[in-house]
Structure 1
């Protein structure tokens, strides 16, 4: 038997050799060797002494519920081991705390013995050491890093939390939810309030039968405990176990504290036991996947295995009791790994018809690329309905709107059937449960703008009503502090998130007085089903992901659900191109300009019909404006209109067009445009139209749509645009605009105050259609020229500077 227990057995074996001499020592025992007078019958029991010594050694070898707590001192320096019941058979207390070196040695001996003699993962250790600030546990640091020692309280508040953990252990043991044991080690309490001592006494009374053992240093009145009293330079033991030298409730022989083990031995043994615990407590990623895939029934909730703790497997649920989860952890703390463990575990347990995933990642990362097809791997998880990679806030808002609309639909169906719960709905129609995960969700709520206020309102509604309709939220973040939009709604939203999951470095997921996340290491997670309340924590170890196992699951699910299409994916960092437009997205007379930042990522455009004002202005100096206009012209090809083109920038493709107009003749040609003609103009701000040219332009804007004439123009200078169209008088003559890098404060005078919060950013544009958008514009990713796609030939005309080109 290796390690610490072997050392104890060797010490006991040494007593066997001394047992033969014990009878000789007995006749010399006198009052000087005892605290109380010696029973004459005891002095005559030489055989009893020898048998007792041998029995002590044998007990230590075979009974893990015994602790070698010190040395019974006989005459002339001879000793026998003091063996006391421990673990499930008894508590142990001392009259002085761990500021006495012998008591500190007893603390370390007891912890190592308890961990060594229990099955790995079957014991939790919680410590209190306020007088020495945790120094008593310092040599046992590897056990703390491994999560065996879950907490060491070093102040009065943390001490109360540690006692609360033990009280929760008793309550869960009584309820049948735990089968492991907890060792509550009170190394020192300092000036603890009387109420805390009373709580520890109550634990001692009920703990032995319900999973808690107490080692109470400095607590000589601890109920149901053998007590070691320091008296001068020796120790008395009251309420002792059966011993060779006893008088009623007191051990007649003096006792010495245990010898302090060699520090290197303690450190080495703690490290060995820590590794044993890690190996036993950590599941592999494959262990998270069930033997019978997709066999789960979502009617009553969703369940997933995430790891193990001292009590065994840790399973989390989405149900009426824990409908939404709040997950926190610093960068590199394992948040992404845990989310992948959870989501792949869910996907393996439930069919796509029973579970729908909406996944949003608001940071620069690849958290959810494991769910979507890529160039490297075309497999995907069929449960995923929509995935945002480096999502825009507006895309997240669109997903939340979709989920709220889905709740409304389900509500109407439930009213029709007369049911009030998702379980009742499933009896009639097979709606899936929905899990929406938003990683770094605080980005969605950043600032105090329209997006943030709408997102908060939608989140509040989902949080309050989601459990009834089978819609669940997982909000993950490094921190939720400092989010301005949450100031008035924080409690109403997060009050609906009883499940709190804290990884290393999480600061605000748990209650302020709960520092459990500060005491765990990588690969561990704090699970708290009571809204982060101190004392309700479980510390579990979860596995790292396994790319091969994940790939096998994706392929397996793909074969089983071959008819399920791939999820819609919004890549917040990727440009979009007209060449990727689907056939159904191209319609006659519709100028396509980009893709909406929305759940369905539909192609965004404007209809150039015969209503007044059906012209398009691309506004802003961003070069993508020329490329977006180029895509719009190309999307109109084949619509039956003649295309005239003019380029004042020299940079646009100018293809496909029917005629090219030279810069110098543009103004004159405005009055000669035939019916059913599109005029595409790049860089109109450089045309420098005089009053006559501006009048011709304004006339064309007002009268053109009625005869099928439409202008698609790019103005890089907004002031020049408003001057050319006649300012406010011409506001309605250009109903459609694609706004690029112009701030809301500059454009709201022309388009309306609802655009004052528009903040331009690269790769995004605001599409405004006065006839279609009543509440404001639409955020789009403008079409750009594919990388490596060279501009088409710039052809010069002859004579009139107008040249026919091939469409």
Structure 2
């Protein structure tokens, strides 16, 4: 390039007089033909210029700091490229906008040149085209699909957002957070407000040295810019870098706008550059995972690599600035893949003593089975403490409650040490940072019932206080609109979620005027650390998962942390069986009925002791009631209880666990049950008790527990149950109930209005113990017969009970 400039300067010096005559002739330019007598000096100058131009043509095309903006017309139709400073050396402005064909060609030429002459990821393009509604950029659509052209504004609102992106680029460049360059292309402004033009001028003044180049079409007064003024069909260039064939500040020869490019060339070049950008910007899943597990310091936060954008690697953090994330994406938009990228990346960089995962999936999917042992693969991620697969809302509520309790414990320890932040706590105690991910979290908040209201309260507390105690939330959903329970709390909760992550089609996690998620394709994500505000977006590409790499990491982590047990796993769609109970869960005098839907997933049952009312009524016609009663009998018999069993349904299977009595002798036996006997009965609604039998039953209920006699009875008809026990007079005589498919409105008259919101569903039951439950009952998954289901084991505990402090 220096050689070409020297040649031009020499030619100018030798032909100064000829150039003066050339300038005079330019004023007489009529139809575009250059008319002037032949001058030997001029011809010599032209020859030198032509030779230098030909010798340097290749270099000119690859120099990112020069742009061929047209062609200078010399004698007898001879032309040379008009090269203007561009990129780091200067801005470029024109007096006409892209409604002029030559200017539209200049826009496309400038973008293709700028992208082609920089390394992939070193330049991003933002456009404004109000007068032609984006038509100037349309042939470059592949670059937009690849994320190189990040935005094209076609109205005043989005134009302001585009300028805001350039302003953010300048501020981040000054702060040292970005090293790439942004090309702001103003193809046309139309009737844009003066304030917007002034903002563009301000960007031009400071941007040249701080990462922004401006091509301003229709902005003839743009600061620090070479300006191309339209003169008829030609152009006059003011403030060029040098005027080798002119005098003063203006070229003396006419300049033609760039000639239109072939459509096939533009589309082909745009596609080539787009493919190059995609290849350079896309990481593989292996790139996210170091060769060997690392052990980062969580005191100041957690950091994870998620992909690349035009500025290079994109890393996200959980810290005081971005404590919680809100993630949105339509079905099939890559939300699950992105979450797996993040979580596996975190697990590869931090030890289980430094980071703990609580994972909840409220949809019908298997997103988080990649973290737990399965029948096919026993490896797991040791950072996972509790995992819910197709979680119940109540299980999610239990997890949130546990995290709130953990914050309270940490608060007590922090007060003891006199510290007010998690980093201060880590200086004294090695508590891990906690990351809780809830996929399709809107299910947890659905409706306006007790679970939703309690979940909102817990979420609000976690969102406000979590950053101080190292507890971080990731709420992922297809949409956050229309959640009734959030009407009064939406701002107070989501205002604590500055990190907004939008996958294709997820506009609700960004501000209403930010449409960045509509302009990305599969495999891209919008990352916005400022609450979704327009102009603060980064568009990154993230990789697909790799099962082999994931399996290898699980094995590596398992070997490195062999003492860490597997996570507790709640399978919301699977049945549970008595033979899956863990050592210590079966106790003498305890009738086990199922597994509690809670973080601990404890075996649930009732204690048959000598307190009044220690009987159990199984209520509802669901056949699982009979199977749960069989499990209770087996659990009691296994610990030495003597059991009599009567079956009015013909379906009970107690094996050798109980002494069978004929249904027709049941009434007679009620008055003669030996002390220390458990009487189990299936289908008592079919017993057809007469007045005498009802009296014997009520006497047993009232006096039995004191002498070790207890009734476990299954009534399929609720009204028959209340009649048999004596209505409200016998309410306290049966303290325990397992409620199956009976709605809250039917049972609340007997058990209390706190159960009015109970909604029965398959595979769930409500366990009520008046002596143990201070509020409502407990949701459980009732035990069923193993042979009656083909599904694998259901909600279960893997590993030991949780320690007092959340450590591995």
Cα distance, 1:772 vs structure 2: 0.3
Tell me the residue number matched to 1:795: none
SS at match of 1:161: helix
Change in 2 beyond 3 A, CA 1:698/1:84: same
Q: After TM superposition, give the deviation of residue 251 of structure 1 in Å.
A: 1.8
Aligned pair 1:199/2:199, yes or no? yes
Query: Is the 8 Å Cα contact of residues 630 and 655 (structure 1) preserved in structure 2?
Result: no
1:695 aligns with 2:695: yes
Q: 1:38 to 1:530 in 2, by over 3 A?
A: farther
Q: Secondary structure at the match of 2:413?
A: helix
- 1:298 to 2:298 alignment: yes
Superposed, 1:238-637 pairs within 5 Å as: 238-291=238-291, 293-637=293-637
The Cα of 1:31 is off from its aligned counterpart by 4.4
Residue 191 of structure 1, CA deviation: 1.1
Counterpart secondary structure, 2:209: helix
Please report how far the alpha carbon of residue 26 of structure 1 lies from its aligned counterpart in structure 2 after TM superposition: 8.1
- Whether contact under 8 Å (1:35, 1:254) holds in the other structure is no
SS in structure 2 at match of 1:394:
helix
Q: Contact 2:128–2:134 (CA<8 Å) still a contact in 1?
A: yes
Q: Which structure 2 residues correspond to residues 38-49 of structure 1 after superposition, within 5 A?
A: 44-49=41-46
Matches within 5 A, 1:69-88: 69-88=69-88
Deviations 1:351-378 (A, max 9, x none): 1111111111111111111110011110
Give matches, 1:24-35, under 5 Å: 31-34=24-27
SS at match of 2:126: strand
Measured at CA, do residues 587 and 389 of structure 1 come closer, stay the same or move farther in structure 2, by a change above 3 Å? same
Q: Which residue of 1 aligns with 2:49?
A: 52
Superposed, which structure 2 residues align to 1:645-794 within 5 Å?
645-788=645-788
Farther-moved stretch of structure 1 (649-658 vs 307-316)? 649-658
Q: How far does residue 789 in structure 1 lie from its aligned partner after superposition?
A: 7.7
Deviation at 1:385, TM superposition (A): 0.4
Residues of 2 paired with 1:435 and 1:52: CA distance? 66
Q: Is residue 30–residue 38 contact of structure 1 (8 Å, CA) maintained in 2?
A: no
Distance (whole Å) between structure 2 residues aligned to residue 275 and residue 396 of structure 1: 43
Separation of aligned partners in 2, 1:42 and 1:120: 48
Q: How far apart are 1:245 and its partner, in Å?
A: 2.8
Scaled by the length of structure 1, what TM-score is found?
Answer: 0.93
Q: How many residues are treated as equivalent by the alignment?
A: 774
Instruction: Tell me if the contact between 2:25 and 2:35 (Cα under 8 Å) persists in the aligned partners.
Output: no
Structure 1 CA distance for aligned equivalents of residues 689 and 52 of structure 2: 111
* 1:322-359 CA-partner distances (Å, limit 9, x unpaired): 11111111111111111111111111111111111111
Structure-1 separation of matches of 2:638 and 2:389? 35
Q: 1:34 to 1:68 in 2, by over 3 A?
A: farther
Q: Which residue of 1 aligns with 2:806?
A: none
The range that moved more, 240-249 or 321-330, is: 240-249
Structure 2 unaligned regions, length at least 5:
791-808
Aligned twin of 1:643 = 643
Deviations 1:381-421 (Å, cap 9, x if unpaired)?
00100001111111111011111111111111111111111
Cα contact 2:701–2:711 (8 A) shared by 1: yes
Q: Shift in Å at residue 51 of structure 1?
A: 2.7
Report the alpha carbon displacement of residue 27 of structure 1 after superposing the two structures with TM: 11
Give the whole-Å Cα distance in 2 for the aligned partners of 1:99 and 1:489: 49
How far off its partner does 1:690 sit?
1.8
State the Cα deviation string for residues 672-723 of structure 1 (Å, max 9, x = none).
2111111111111111212222111111111111111111111111111111
CA contact (8 A) 1:295 1:350 kept: yes
CA distance in 2, matches of 1:717, 1:346: 53
TM value normalised by structure 2: 0.93
Q: 1:789 to 1:298 in 2, by over 3 A?
A: closer
- Partners of 1:706 and 1:422 in 2: how far apart? 53
Is the 1:33–1:74 Cα contact (8 Å) retained in structure 2?
no
SS at match of 1:235: strand
Q: Could you list the per-position Cα deviations for residues 478-513 of structure 1 after superposition, in whole angstroms to 9, with x for gaps in the alignment? A: 111111111111111111111111111112111111
Equivalent residue of 2:696, what SS?
helix
Which SS does the other structure have where 2:786 is aligned? coil
For residues 57-87 of structure 1, give each alpha carbon's deviation from its aligned partner in whole angstroms, at most 9, with x where no partner exists: 4151452211111111234433221111111
SS at match of 1:365: coil
CA distance in 2, matches of 1:251, 1:41: 20
CA pair 396-62 structure 1, distance change in 2 beyond 3 A: closer
User: Secondary structure at the residue paired with 1:152?
Assistant: strand
**Is the deviation greater in 490-499 or in 666-675?**
666-675
Q: 1:475 to 1:39 in 2, by over 3 A?
A: farther
Between stretches 482-491 and 598-607, larger displacement belongs to 482-491
Secondary structure of 1:88's counterpart equals coil
Kept in 2, the 8 Å contact 1:27–1:44? The answer is no
* Contact 1:26 1:44 (8 Å CA) reproduced: no
Secondary structure of 2:565's match? coil
After TM superposition, give the deviation of residue 28 of structure 1 in Å.
Answer: 9.4
